[in-house]
C-alpha cells in the first residue's frame, strides 16, 4: 500500500519531452525516453470521437487551396501511416529523402491538406471563459532554416484559419539563410499571390534562431510578439487566452500548451490541463519537463488557470512587444540553437515578470529526434550559449554547471552588455529565483550523501552510465573505481538516489534508472541508520547477492545489504 497518500507511480506520466540537448558531439537519440513518452502520450490522448466535434473553421481568410473532405489523410489530426515496402522504388526514394532532409516524415505531410482540421482539444472548462472584448493584436514570428514546404505552409494556414482577423496583425516569416530551393522564389511568389498578411524577411547570412527572431521582432508592428517554430499547428482558440493574459499585465510572458505532432505519422497528440507539465532544467543547463508542483496546484483557482512555470521550452510564446524590448530581447551573442529559452526564463522571473503556461491555448509542434540542419563547425554552440547565460544570471550557482567541464569554459565572447542589463533592470538574485520560483530544483551542494555507493562486504559499487540514454536501464554492479562518473550518486533531501535528472527507481522488478519525477513513489529511498538502502514503498533493501548481482530483497540486516556512501553528511 502507498504510504500516507504518496502516489505510487508505475511510470511517471510526465517523462521528459524531446528537448534533447543538441551538443554537436552528442547528437544521438534518446530512444528509450522517447518511446516511454510516446507510450504515455498514447494513454493520455482523449479519443477524438468522444469530444465535441470541431466547430467549423472560420473562412474569412486569405484565398487558399481547397479544403480536404473529412476522410482525407490526417484530417481531425489523425495519423497517416505509410507502408514503405508498398511504395514504388521512386516513391520510396522520396520517402527516404523527406526523412533525411527534415528528421520528420515529409512524405506523409505532403499527403495532408495544408488546412487539415484538428479536434477541439481544449478542456471543457475553457469553453466558458470570456476573454476581454478588446485585446491587443499580435505579430506572429516564424523563423526557419530549411523547413519543408507543406509543413511551413501548414503552420501559416493554421494561424490564418484559426485566428480572428482583427487579432492578427501579420505573420513574419524569417528565412535564416535557407538553402532549400523552394524557400526562395517559390515562397516569395506564393506569398505574393496568396497572402495579404504574410511578410518574408531574409537574413543575408546564417544567424541562428536567436538572431533570426531578433530580426523578425525588429520589423514587427503588432502590440504583442508571438513566436512559433516553423513546424507547428495552432488549434482552435489558441490565441485569445494568450493575449488576454498579456492584456491584464504587460509583464506576463505566456506559452501555450505544446501538443505533440508525431514526427512519423503527423498524428496530433494532446492531453488535458491536468496532465500538463511545467518547464525546469538540470545542472547541465538542459531544459526538461515536470509535473505541476503541489504548491502551484493549490495556488491555482481552476483546473485551467494559468500555470506558473520556472522555465519555458522556448519556441512557442507570446510577449508584449514593448516588454520584450524593456526586458532586453535576447542575447545577440548566442549562436544557432540552445540556451536562449533558459536565459529568457531566468531573466523574466528575476527582473520582475511572470512566465506562465496557459492551459486553454494549445499549439502542436513536431518534436524531432535529431537536428536536421547544419550547425556551426568547430564550436560547441550550446555550451557557448549556456556559459553566456550562466555568467550573467547564475551567480554562485554557475559552479554546478562549470563542474561538468572541469571549469574549462572555452571561448564565450563578451557578456558585459548583458551584465549591465541585469544591473539596469535591478534584477533579483539566482538564489531568490531558486527559492521562490523553483524550490524543487535539486541543488548538488545540498545532497545528504554523495559519491560512490560501496557494498560493505565487497569492493563493489552501484554503477550506471551517465549519459542521457541511460534512462530505463538497469543499475549494475561494478568494482569500485573511485573515479566518480558512472558510480557518482547523490542522496537528495527528498530521498532520491540520483545523478542529474536520473533517479534510481524500483517498480517491482529491477532496480532501474529513470527520469526523476519528484513525486517520491517508486523513487523514494531511505538510507537507514544501519546503512541499508531501503525502498520506501516496497520496504525492500538493495542486496549484493552471492553471484554478484543486485537484487531487491526483504531487509534482514545482513552485511550484503549494507552500503557506504563515499561522503555522508553527519546527522
Ligand atoms: C526547442 C524550441 C526552439 C528553441 C530551442 C532552443 C520548442 C517547441 N522548440 O528546440 O524554438 O527554443 O529549443 O534553442 O520549444 N532555426 C533557425 N536557424 C537556425 C536553427 C533553427 O531559424 O540556425 C529555426 C528552425 O527552423 C525552427 C526553430 O528555429 O523553426 C527552432 O529550431 P528547432 O525546431 O530545431 O528547435 P527545437 O524545437 O528542437
Ligand atoms: Mn522545433
pLDDT digits (tens, 9 = 90+) for 185-198: 999 999 999 999 99
Same domain (yes/no): 414, 511: no
> Which one, of 541, 563, 394, 364, lies nearest residue 462 by Cα?
563
**Of 398, 422, 437, which closes a domain?**
437
- Report the largest interatomic distance among the alpha carbons of the chain, rounded to a whole angstrom: 79
> Residue 332 falls within a domain, yes or no?
no
Position 64 pLDDT exceeds 80:
no
Same domain (yes/no): 433, 448: no
pTM check: above 0.90: no
Residue 78, SS3 per DSSP = coil
| Mean pLDDT, residues 509-532 | 92
| Mean pLDDT, residues 341-370 | 98
Same domain (yes/no): 510, 555: yes
> Residue 2 falls within a domain, yes or no?
no
Check: CB of residue 533 under 8 Å from CB of residue 37: no
> Which one, of 5, 15, 1, lies nearest residue 505 by Cα?
15
Position 39 pLDDT exceeds 50:
no
Task: Return the beta strands (E) in 339-386 as ranges.
Answer: 354-366
pLDDT 10s digits, 125-143? 999 999 999 999 999 999 9
444 CA to centre of ligand 2 in angstroms:
31
Neighbours of 135 (CB within 10 A): 19
Same domain (yes/no): 412, 456: no
Between CA 156 and CA 114 the distance in angstroms is: 9
Decide: 427 in ligand 1 pocket, CB within 6 A: no
Parallel, antiparallel, or unpaired: how do β-strands 502-506 and 476-479 relate?
A: unpaired
Position 295 pLDDT exceeds 50:
yes
Same domain (yes/no): 513, 543: yes
Q: Which residue has the cell 491584464?
A: 248
Decide: 227 in ligand 1 pocket, CB within 6 A: no
Of 171, 205, 209, the one to substitute when testing ligand 1's pocket (max ligand atoms within 8 A of C-beta) is 209
> Which of ligand 1's atoms lies nearest the C-alpha of 367?
38
Q: How many CA atoms lie within 13 A of 571 on its CB side?
A: 7
Cell numbers for 419, please give them.
551584465
Decide: 341 in ligand 1 pocket, CB within 6 A: yes
540 CA to centre of ligand 2 in angstroms:
43
Give the closest residue (by CA) to ligand 1 atom 35: 371
> Which one, of 388, 119, 114, 76, lies nearest residue 272 by Cα?
119
Range of the domain at 496: 444-568
CATH at 552: 2.80.10.50
Check: CB of residue 109 under 8 Å from CB of residue 266: yes
Percent of the chain beyond pLDDT 90? 77
Chain centre distance of CA 523: 22
> Residue 479 falls within a domain, yes or no?
yes
Position 53 pLDDT exceeds 60:
no
Chain centre distance of CA 501: 14
Same domain (yes/no): 512, 545: yes
Check: CB of residue 174 under 8 Å from CB of residue 215: yes
Specify which residues 253 forms β-bridges with: 355
> Which one, of 210, 211, 257, 263, lies nearest residue 234 by Cα?
257
Decide: 460 in ligand 1 pocket, CB within 6 A: no
pLDDT band (50, 70, 90) for residue 66: low
> Residue 525 falls within a domain, yes or no?
yes
> Which of ligand 1's atoms lies nearest the C-alpha of 176?
22
Same domain (yes/no): 385, 412: yes
> Residue 485 falls within a domain, yes or no?
yes
> Which of ligand 1's atoms lies nearest the C-alpha of 143?
22
Same domain (yes/no): 416, 509: no
Same domain (yes/no): 517, 538: yes
pLDDT 10s digits, 438-482? 998 999 988 999 889 999 999 999 999 856 555 678 899 999 988
Provide the domain count of the chain. Answer: 2
Between CA 278 and CA 260 the distance in angstroms is: 15
Q: What is the mean pLDDT of the chain?
A: 88
pLDDT 10s digits, 557-566? 999 999 999 8
Position 221 pLDDT exceeds 70:
yes
> Which of ligand 1's atoms lies nearest the C-alpha of 365?
8
- Would the CA dihedral through 92, 96, 102, 104 be positive or negative? positive
Ligand nearest to the CA of 372: 1
> Residue 161 falls within a domain, yes or no?
no
Give the closest residue (by CA) to ligand 1 atom 24: 144
Chain centre distance of CA 46: 21
Decide: 330 in ligand 1 pocket, CB within 6 A: no
> Which one, of 465, 367, 400, lies nearest residue 22 by Cα?
367
Same domain (yes/no): 500, 536: yes
Residue 12, SS3 per DSSP = coil
User: Which one-letter DSSP state was computed for residue 532?
Assistant: B
25 CA to centre of ligand 1 in angstroms:
18
Check: CB of residue 555 under 8 Å from CB of residue 541: yes
Q: What is the pLDDT of residue 290?
A: 87
Cell numbers for 56, please give them.
467549423
Specify which residues 173 forms β-bridges with: 142, 200
Same domain (yes/no): 451, 485: yes
> Residue 486 falls within a domain, yes or no?
yes
Same domain (yes/no): 477, 551: yes
Cell numbers for 522, please give them.
517508486
> Which one, of 479, 489, 567, 474, lies nearest residue 525 by Cα?
489
Between CA 539 and CA 553 the distance in angstroms is: 9
Give the closest residue (by CA) to ligand 1 atom 6: 338
Chain centre distance of CA 178: 25
Decide: 175 in ligand 1 pocket, CB within 6 A: no
Q: What is the pLDDT of residue 470?
A: 52
Asked if this assembly's ipTM is beyond 0.85, the reply is yes
Position 5 pLDDT exceeds 70:
no
Where helices occur in 276-339 by DSSP H, the ranges are 294-299, 321-326
CATH at 427: 1.10.8.460
| Mean pLDDT, residues 243-265 | 98
> Residue 503 falls within a domain, yes or no?
yes
Amino acid at each position: 500500500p502507498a504510504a500516507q497518500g504518496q502516489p505510487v507511480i508505475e511510470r511517471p506520466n510526465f517523462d521528459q519531452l524531446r528537448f534533447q540537448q543538441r551538443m554537436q558531439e552528442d547528437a544521438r537519440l534518446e530512444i528509450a525516453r522517447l518511446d516511454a513518452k510516446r507510450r504515455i502520450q498514447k494513454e493520455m490522448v482523449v479519443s477524438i470521437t468522444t469530444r465535441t466535434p470541431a466547430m467549423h473553421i472560420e473562412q474569412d481568410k486569405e484565398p487558399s487551396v481547397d479544403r480536404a473532405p473529412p476522410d482525407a489523410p490526417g484530417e481531425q489530426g489523425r495519423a497517416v501511416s505509410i507502408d514503405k515496402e508498398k511504395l514504388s522504388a521512386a516513391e520510396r526514394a522520396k520517402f527516404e529523402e523527406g526523412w533525411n532532409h527534415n528528421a520528420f516524415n515529409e512524405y506523409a505531410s505532403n499527403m495532408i491538406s495544408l488546412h487539415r482540421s484538428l479536434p477541439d482539444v481544449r478542456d471543457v472548462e475553457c469553453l466558458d471563459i470570456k476573454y476581454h472584448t478588446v485585446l491587443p493584436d499580435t505579430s506572429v514570428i516564424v523563423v526557419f532554416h530549411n523547413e519543408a514546404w507543406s509543413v511551413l505552409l501548414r503552420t501559416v494556414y493554421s494561424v490564418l484559419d484559426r485566428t480572428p482577423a482583427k487579432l492578427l496583425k501579420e505573420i513574419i516569416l524569417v528565412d535564416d539563410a535557407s538553402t532549400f530551393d523552394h524557400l526562395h522564389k517559390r515562397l516569395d511568389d506564393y506569398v505574393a499571390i496568396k497572402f495579404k498578411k504574410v511578410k518574408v524577411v531574409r537574413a543575408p547570412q546564417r544567424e541562428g534562431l536567436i538572431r533570426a527572431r531578433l530580426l523578425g521582432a525588429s520589423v514587427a508592428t503588432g502590440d504583442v510578439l508571438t513566436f512559433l517554430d516553423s513546424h507547428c499547428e495552432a488549434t482552435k482558440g489558441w490565441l485569445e487566452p494568450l493575449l488576454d493574459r498579456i492584456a491584464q499585465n504587460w509583464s506576463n510572458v505566456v506559452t501555450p500548451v505544446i501538443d505533440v505532432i508525431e514526427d512519423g505519422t503527423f498524428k496530433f497528440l494532446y492531453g488535458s490541463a491536468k496532465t500538463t507539465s511545467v518547464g525546469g532544467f538540470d545542472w547541465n543547463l538542459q531544459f526538461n519537463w515536470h509535473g505541476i508542483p503541489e504548491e502551484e496546484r493549490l495556488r491555482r483557482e481552476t483546473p485551467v488557470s494559468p500555470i506558473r512555470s520556472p522555465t519555458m521550452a522556448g519556441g512557442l510564446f507570446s510577449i508584449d512587444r514593448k516588454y520584450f524590448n524593456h526586458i532586453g530581447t535576447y542575447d545577440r551573442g548566442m549562436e544557432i540553437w540552445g540556451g536562449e529559452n533558459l536565459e529568457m526564463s531566468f531573466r523574466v522571473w528575476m527582473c520582475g515578470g511572470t512566465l506562465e503556461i496557459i492551459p486553454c491555448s494549445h499549439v502542436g509542434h513536431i518534436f524531432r529526434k535529431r537536428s536536421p540542419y547544419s550547425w556551426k563547425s568547430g564550436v560547441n554552440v550550446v555550451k557557448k550559449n549556456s556559459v553566456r547565460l550562466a555568467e550573467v544570471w547564475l551567480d554562485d550557482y554557475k559552479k554546478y554547471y562549470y563542474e561538468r567541464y572541469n571549469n574549462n569554459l572555452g571561448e564565450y565572447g563578451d557578456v558585459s552588455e548583458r551584465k549591465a542589463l541585469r544591473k539596469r533592470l535591478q534584477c533579483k538574485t539566482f538564489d531568490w529565483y531558486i527559492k521562490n520560483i523553483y524550490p524543487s530544483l535539486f541543488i548538488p551542494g545540498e545532497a545528504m550523501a554523495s559519491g560512490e555507493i560501496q557494498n560493505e562486504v565487497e569492493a563493489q559499487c552501484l554503477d550506471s552510465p551517465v549519459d542521457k540514454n541511460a534512462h530505463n536501464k538497469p543499475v549494475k554492479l561494478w568494482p569500485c573505481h573511485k573515479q566518480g562518473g558512472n558510480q557518482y550518486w547523490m542522496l537528495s533531501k527528498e530521498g532520491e538516489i540520483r545523478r542529474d535528472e536520473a533517479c534510481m527507481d524500483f517498480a517491482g522488478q529491477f532496480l532501474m534508472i529513470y527520469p526523476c519525477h519528484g513525486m517520491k513513489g517508486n523513487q523514494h529511498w531511505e538510507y537507514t541508520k544501519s546503512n541499508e538502502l531501503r525502498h520506501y514503498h516496497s520496504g525492500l533493501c538493495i542486496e549484493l547477492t552471492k553471484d554478484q548481482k543486485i537484487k531487491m530483497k526483504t531487509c534482514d540486516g545482513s552485511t550484503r545489504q549494507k552500503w557506504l556512501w563515499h561522503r555522508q553528511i553527519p546527522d
